[in-house]
Amino acid sequence: MGGEPVGPAVLEGEIHLAYRWTTGPATGAFLTALRDRGVILGLRCPSCRRVLCPPLEVCPRCGTETAGEVECGPGGRVTAWTLVEAPTPWTPWEAPYALISVRLDGASTDLVHAVTEGARRVRTGARVKAVFRTVGRRVGDILDLEGFAVE
């Protein structure tokens, strides 16, 4: 046949769904400490003694339930970084911004977050420091930790 299509070849649509995610005891405590105290919490695995930050209910390596809150940071060291030039529509930062993997002081695992101050100076091994949302504006999500400033 060829030529013009005889009918609609593509139909456009969207899906809108609302959710209420249960944070659970570990992530819940992490977000609460962030919101109410401006503190980054880790949880210790009683088997391997590692401090998981962000905390998990179960240590994946040992299969053991974590116990014992440990305050991590606010300082840490960059373990990996990228300068993002092509963000998604829902990215809260303007490009270019630095996405980092950071090992907070006192933690045994890495947290993924963004650099909000000094993105151009970020390097592996660089010292960074947590920047929190202003008291009174915190809502209990991961962005109560606004990001990290390169020292």
Q: Please state the closest distance from residue 141 (CB atom) to another protein, in A.
A: 15
Q: Which of residues 60-89 bind another protein (CB under 8 A)?
A: 60-61, 63
Q: Select from 1, 6, 15, 67 the one that contacts another protein (CB under 8 A).
A: 15
Q: Please state the closest distance from residue 116 (CB atom) to another protein, in A.
A: 26
SS3 112: strand
Question: Any contact of residue 19 with another protein (CB under 8 A)?
Answer: yes
Question: Any contact of residue 90 with another protein (CB under 8 A)?
Answer: no
SS3 98: strand
Stretch 23-62: interaction string toward another protein, x if CB under 8 A = xxxxxx---------------------------xxxxxx-
Look up residue 4 and give its two tokens. Answer: 């013009």
Pairing mode of beta strands 69-72, 40-44: antiparallel
Distance CA 144, CA 151 (A): 20
Question: Any contact of residue 21 with another protein (CB under 8 A)?
Answer: yes
Count of alpha carbons within 13 angstroms of residue 129, beta-carbon side: 1
Q: Please, what sign has the CA dihedral across residues 105, 108, 110, 113?
A: negative
Look up residue 121 and give its two tokens. Answer: 């100076």
Size of the site for another protein (CB under 8 A): 22
* Site for another protein, rule CB under 8 A: 11, 13, 15, 17-28, 56-61, 63
